Amino acid sequence: MHARPTSPASAILLAALGIGLLSLMDATIKGLSDRYGVTGIAFARYIVGTLVMAAVLAVLRPGWPSAETWRTNGLRAVLVVVTALCFFHGLSVLPLAEALALSFLSPIFIALFAALLLRERVRPPVWAGLVVGFVGVGIVVAGQVGSGGIGADDPVRGAGSAWGIAAILASALTYALSMVLLRARARHDPVVTIVAIQNAGPAAMLAAPAAFTWTPVAAPDWALLVLVGVLGVAGHLVLSRAYAKAEASRLAAMEYTALLWAIGLGYFAFGEVPGMATLAGAGLILVGSALAARR
Helix axis angle, 38-60 to 67-93, nearest 10°: 150
Looking at the whole model, is its pTM more than 0.85?
no
Q: For residue 270, count other CB atoms closer than 10 A to its CB.
A: 10
| pLDDT tens digits, one per residue of 71-84 | 999 999 999 999 98
CA-wise closest residue to 293 among 12, 7, 4: 12
| pLDDT tens digits, one per residue of 169-181 | 899 899 999 989 9
What pLDDT score was predicted for residue 1? 41
Listing DSSP states for 65-93 in one string gives PPHHHHHHHHHHHHHHHHHHHHHHHHHHH
CB burial of residue 193 (10 Å; 0-12, 13-18, 19+):
buried
Q: For residue 232, count other CB atoms closer than 10 A to its CB.
A: 27
Q: Give the pLDDT band of residue 3 (cuts 50, 70, 90).
A: very low
| pLDDT tens digits, one per residue of 224-278 | 999 999 999 999 889 988 988 888 877 877 888 887 887 888 788 877 777 788 7
User: How many whole angstroms separate alpha carbon 242 and alpha carbon 251?
Assistant: 8
Q: What is the DSSP letter of 147?
A: T
What pLDDT score was predicted for residue 116? 84
